[in-house]
Amino acid sequence: MNCLKIKSLDLEQLESSDLMTDLVTIDEKHLDYSWTRAQWKSLFNGDSDRYLLMGAFNEDELAGFSLFELNPWSAQAHLLKIVIRPELRGSGAASQLFHLSRKSLNKKSMCEIFLEVGARNDRAVGFYRKQGFLQLCVKKSFYSDGTDALAMLLSL
């Protein structure tokens, strides 16, 4: 397994750093439904306590990240994004990132993780099932291109 350094990233400090550019670049290059720079910036203008952003670093380079929106009233975290650079896929890096993200969510008193994933994204669906997620339902035409999504849930 690749040895990554994984740490929580402070959204308020991130906005003015080069790391923001790295996040946007990884999102645009490696996720099917990437966000615009304006969508990313909106995270920094809101309540930063509503989010958990974990960065995975290979040496000093951002190798991936996970982003969760936290709902303290329901104790549920919504996994918005998780990505590892393609050259590290299959190395256990995503599992390592997810495991440490779960530990951070537990410390924040979250009891569940909810997500949507493209129904045809077999690799991601397999990853989530391996992590213990259960499928709740199919959301028809969930994505902007008309693709269906699976809603999944993991109890922590």
Which domains, and CATH codes, for the chain?
5-155 (3.40.630.30)
Helix ranges (H only) for 75-121 are: 93-107
The 10s digit of each residue's pLDDT in 12-71 is 777 667 888 899 999 999 998 899 888 887 876 767 788 999 999 988 899 999 999 999
Output the pLDDT for position 46. Answer: 66
User: Measured in Å, how far apart are the chain's first and last C-alpha atoms?
Assistant: 24
Between 49 and 82, residue with greater pLDDT:
82
Residue 1's pLDDT band (cuts 50, 70, 90): very low
CA-to-CA distance for 32 and 108, rounded, in angstroms? 29
Q: Which residues of 39-56 are buried (b: 16+ CB within 10 A; e: fewer)?
A: ebeebeeeebeebbbbbb
If DSSP codes are grouped into helix, strand and coil, which group holds residue 1?
coil
112: Cβ contacts below 8 Å, ≥ 6 apart: 74, 75, 76, 77, 153, 154, 155, 156
Over residues 73-80, the mean pLDDT reads 97
pLDDT of residue 12: 73
